């Protein structure tokens, strides 16, 4: 597979991952506003589970696969400082938030959510900030 095709697939995967990461915390904001065990609670649980399993998880995996493949094809990228920061933000930042969102989905499913609407509103901004920094690093390659 040629490098530009890998790059396109990486960008598509990353975009899908980010779309889910932007939307899931917003669902949690609304989910906090409904009664546990209600019909709305069950609907939110279904939406959250499907979003994670059908979009967010596969898109994250594809992002890592195509990104890793790109690094394998172009190992010179690993000699650039911006790439180290990007990889750290992707793995620890976005990967960490992804893990948190997965845990919170399980909390809602067990009827054990202890986080507030405000907490999820703030958490909703984290992927956006990390996303902006990652894109700026990848495009500007500042160092």
- Structure confidence at residue 1 (pLDDT): 86
Please report, to the nearest 10 degrees, the dihedral formed by the alpha carbons of residues 99, 105, 111, 117 taken in order: 90
**How large a percentage of the chain has pLDDT more than 90?**
99
Q: φ, ψ for residue 46 (rounded to 5)?
A: -65, -45
For the chain, give every domain's residue range. 3-140
For residue 43, what are its two tokens? Answer: 């609907």
Low-confidence ranges of the chain (pLDDT < 70): none
Predicted TM-score (pTM) of the model is 0.94
pLDDT in tens, 83-97: 999 999 999 999 999
Determine the pLDDT at residue 108: 98
Q: Per-residue pLDDT tens for 39-55?
A: 999 999 999 999 999 99
Which residues touch 111 (CB under 8 Å, ≥6 apart)? 36, 37, 41
């Amino acid at each position: 597979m040629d490098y530009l095709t890998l790059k396109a697939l990486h960008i598509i995967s990353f975009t899908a991952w980010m779309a889910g990461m932007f939307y899931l915390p917003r669902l949690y904001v609304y989910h906090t506003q409904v009664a546990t065990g209600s019909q709305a609670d069950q609907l939110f649980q279904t939406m959250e589970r499907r979003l994670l399993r059908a979009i967010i998880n596969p898109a994250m995996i594809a992002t890592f696969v195509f990104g890793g493949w790109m690094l394998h094809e172009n190992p010179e990228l690993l000699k650039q400082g911006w790439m180290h920061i990007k990889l750290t933000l992707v793995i620890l930042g976005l990967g960490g938030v992804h893990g948190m969102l997965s845990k919170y989905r399980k909390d809602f499913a067990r009827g054990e959510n202890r986080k507030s609407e405000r907490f999820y509103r703030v958490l909703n901004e984290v992927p956006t900030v990390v996303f902006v920094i990652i894109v700026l690093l990848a495009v500007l390659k500042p160092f």
